Structure 1
Amino acid sequence: MPGPPIEGSPMHARQLYSLPEPPRAPSARLHAIDSHTGGEPTRVIFEGLPELDGASASELRDQLAEQHDWVRRASVYEPRGHNDMFVAALYPGQPDPAIPRVVFMSAAGYPDMCGHATIGVATTLVEMGWVDPGDEVLTLDVPGGLIEVSLQRQGARVHAVTFRNQPAFHLKRVAVPGPQGDVPVDVAYGGQWYGFLPASAFGLRVVPEELTRLQAAADEVRSSLVAALETPDPRTGSPPAVANIVWYAEPASEAGDARNVPIAPGGVFDRSPCGTATCARLAVLHAQQGLEVDEPFVNEGILGTRFHARIRRIIDVEGYRGVIPEVTGDAWLTGVSDMWIDDQDPLGQGFVV
C-alpha cells in the first residue's frame, strides 16, 4: 500500500472529501487509479489487494494467479473493465520500501513485463504524491526483473517517463503463408514474445478502419507461426509463446520511423505503440538492418501516439546478440475506480463475451 500522500498532491486533496460507501458491505473492495499511455489503459490497484507473503514481484504474481485470480477477473473483465483493459497490482517494496512491487494483469493472464503500464505506474506514483517530490529515478520490481525508470517532471506533473528494459533479442525469421506467397516474420523478445511482419504483405494498412481485417489476419499468421517455429527459447529451452502478432507499416507522420499495432489472441490490440513490442523491434532492427546504439527510433501506434526508443548497449543472450532497450512515453491520469465485489453477484468476478 502506498505511503501517506504528500501535501498538495491529488491524493492529499482527496482526503477533503469521501467516496460514497456501498449500501451493504462488499465481499471485497478494490481501489485503483486509472490512466492511459498513448491511448492504452492502465488501472493501478493500490488498496484492497490480498495480503501475500511473496518476496519478489514474480512470487506475488504466482500467488495471485494460483490463489486469487478473482482480482484479475474482477478488475480486467466486464462489468468493470473490458477485454482490452490492463491492470497493475501495486504492492509496497520488500525488503526495500523504495522499490515498489508491480504485478501486471490482462485478459491474457500475467505478463512478465509491460512497457505502457510501466509508464502508467510511474506516472501514477508521482502524480498521486506517493514518491518523494525530488525523485527523478525510480526502480520497479516487476515479474521480469528490476526496471529502472527515469522521470521528466515538474513538481507533481510528469511530462515523460523513460524505462530501461531487460534484454531484448531477435530469435529468428520464419516464413508463413501470405496472400501472394510466403511472408517473412521476425520473432523477437522484448519482455513478451512477438512476431513482426509488414501489413502490406497482406494488403493491409495499420489504421483503425482496418482493425477487423488486421485481427482476422493475425489469427491466421499466429497459427502458421506456431506450427513453423521450431527454435526454442534459448533462456529456458521451452518453445517461445509467440501470442502477439505485430503488423508494421510506414509512419503516418514525418515525426515517426514506423507504425505498428500488436494483436493478441481474441483480437486484443494495443492502442499505444506498445513498450515491449518497441523493445523487441529494436532487437529486430539491430539484427536485420544494423540499428546502432543510441540511434533514435520513433514508433507510432495505431492512434498516431508515439514512443521514442533507442538501444543503450549490446548484450549476449545465451548466444544470441541482444540489446538493452530504452523507451520514452507519457501517461495521463483519467480517474479513480472504487470497485465493489459482491459474492452474491453471479457476474461479480467478471465475465467475457
Structure 2
Amino acid sequence: MSRQTEFTKSINVVTTEMHTAGDPVRIAVSGYPDIIGDTILDKRRYVREHLDHLRRLLIQEPRGHKDMYGVIPVKSDIKEADMAVLFMDSEDYAFMCGHCTIALGKYAVDHGIVKGVSPETTVKIQCPCGLVTAHVEYQDGKSGTVRFESVPCFSFAADLIVNLEGYGDIHYDISFGGCFYAYTDITQFGLDIKSSPIADIITAAMKLKRAITETVTLAHPENNELAFLFGVMFYSGSLGNCSEEVCVYADGQVCRNPCGSGCCGLLAVLYHKGLIKEGEVKTFVNSKTQSSFNGKIVKQIKLKNTLAVIAEISGKAYYTGECTFFCEQDDPQPSFLVQ
C-alpha cells in the first residue's frame, strides 16, 4: 500500500475474521499494545481503562457494526490454559462468548497453538468467567465441529414476575451460563418469535433488562464481578418445548446464532425445572436466521453451596478473511456507534 506512511502507526491491528453459525468473530492477532495485569480480570479492567479506543475502532462503525463481536488474545495466568482471551462487543467487554469459543477452538488447532490430534483435539481456553474446554473434531488434517464444556452454570432465580408498562405482568427466569441472562416467553409481550420486527423485540428486551437491573440484585457464588445481567433470551410458549429462540444482549445487540453462553444458561434452567435430563441432547435454533447449536448437560456439580451443571454446546465456525485495520491521522470519525 503506497499510502501506508500517511496512516497512524500506533493504530495498525491485524485480524483474522471468522463466523460461527452466522455470528461474526474478529480476532485481533497483532497490533495491540501490551495488556497489563496479573489476572485475566485485571487485564479486562486494563483494556477498559486504557485501550478502549481500539475496541471502538475494531467493533463499531465504520469498521464494524453494532452486532460485531471481537476477541483479544492475552497471556494466560493459569497453567492449565492453552490460550487466554478477552471478549469485546460494541458496548463493552463480555465475560463469556460461546460462539467466539467455538471459533477459537478451530483457530487454535489450525494455527498450531495446540497440535491437532485425531479424532478430536482438546483446547483449554481461559475466559474472563473461567476456564472453558473446547473439543475440536480433527480428521485428515482438517478441523471441524467444535464442542465446548462451560464453566459451572446455575439457575439463579425461577418464576419471577415484573410489571412492565405497556406489556403487563411478565414471567421470567434468571440463569448464569458464563454471563447472566433472563429467559422469558415472547408471547407475553404480544410478539411472535419468527415474524415480529427485530426492532420490536429489541425494545421489549431492553425494557425487561432495565426493569430487572433495577429490581433484582444478582450474585455469583465465587466472583460478584460477574454479577450483572448481560442479555435477554426469548422463547415461545412452553419452556420445556421451546425449540426456537432469539437473544438480545448488551445494549440491544442481537445474536445471529442461538447464543452459546445463553444456551448454557438455558440448559441450567431446564435442568433445574426437571425439563431435561443429564446427557439429553437439545437443539437450539435462532428464530430469525435458523442457525443452530446442539446442547446438553454433561454433569451436575456443586459450586460452593449452589447446585450447578456443566453444559456442552456444539457448532461450527468458518473463516471469512483477514484484515489490517488502521486510522488516517486526519480521520475525524475513527469510530462511532449508530443508536
TM-score (norm 1): 0.85
Instruction: Please name the residue that 1:322 is paired with.
Output: 308
> What is the deviation of 1:319?
2.8
Q: Match of 1:210, as an amino acid? A: P
1:142 matches 2:124: no
For 1:196 and 1:83, how far apart are their aligned partners in 2?
22
Q: Following the alignment from structure 1 to structure 2, what is the Cα–Cα distance between the partners of residues 67 and 122?
A: 28
AA at the equivalent of 1:316: K
Matched residues, percent identical? 25
| Cα distance, 1:61 vs structure 2 | 1.7
Query: Which residue does 1:11 correspond to in 2?
Result: none
Contact 2:67 / 2:254 at 8 angstroms: preserved in 1? yes
**Aligned pairs, how many?**
330
Q: Which residue of 1 aligns with 2:4?
A: 22
Please say which of residues 54-63 and 162-171 is displaced more in the overlay: 54-63
Say which SS state the counterpart of residue 100 (structure 2) adopts. Answer: helix
Matches within 5 A, 1:292-331: 292-302=277-287, 303-331=289-317
Distance 1:238 1:36, change over 3 A: closer
Aligned to 2:191: 204
Q: Which amino acid aligns with 2:333?
A: L
Rounded Cα–Cα distance in structure 1 between residues aligned with 2:22 and 2:297: 24
Q: Which residue of 1 aligns with 2:89?
A: 106
1:21–1:308 Cα change, 3 Å? farther
Equivalent residues of 2:235, 2:242 under 8 A apart:
no
The answer to whether the Cα contact below 8 Å between 1:33 and 1:124 also exists between their aligned partners in 2 is: no
Which ranges of structure 2 fall in alignment gaps of 5 or more residues?
none
Partner Cα distance (1:293, 1:207) in 2 = 29
- How much does 1:42 deviate? 0.5
Identify if the C-alpha distance between structure 1 residues 33 and 21 changes in structure 2 by more than 3 Å, giving closer, same or farther. farther
What CA distance in whole angstroms lies between the structure 2 residues aligned with 1:62 and 1:230? 22
Could you tell me how far 1:340 is from its partner in structure 2?
0.8
Aligned to 2:149: 164
Looking at structure 2, the residues matched to 316 and 168 of structure 1 have their Cα atoms a distance apart, in angstroms, of 10
Matches within 5 A, 1:54-203: 54-93=37-76, 99-134=82-117, 136-173=121-158, 174-177=160-163, 181-203=168-190
User: Residue 108 of structure 2 contacts residue 123 of structure 2 at CA under 8 Å; is this kept in 1?
Assistant: no
**Aligned in 2, Cα 1:34/1:250: closer, same or farther, shift over 3 Å?**
farther
| Structure-2 separation of matches of 1:149 and 1:238 | 24
Deviation at 1:235, TM superposition (A): 4.0
TM-score scaled to structure 2, two decimals?
0.88
Q: What is the Cα deviation at residue 128 of structure 1? A: 4.1
Deviations 1:56-99 (A, max 9, x none): 43332222112111221111111110111100012355675971
Aligned amino acid, residue 123 of structure 1: K
Q: Does 1:217 align with 2:204?
A: yes
C-alpha distance in 1 between matches for 2:64 and 2:168:
40
For the Cα contact (< 8 Å) 1:190–1:279, is it kept in 2?
Answer: yes
Partner residue of 1:258? Answer: 243
Structure 1 stretches of at least 4 aligned residues deviating more than 6 Å after TM superposition: none
- Structure 1 residue 230: Cα displacement: 4.4
Q: 2: distance between equivalents of 1:323 and 1:71?
A: 36
> Structure 1 stretches of 5 or more lacking a match?
1-18
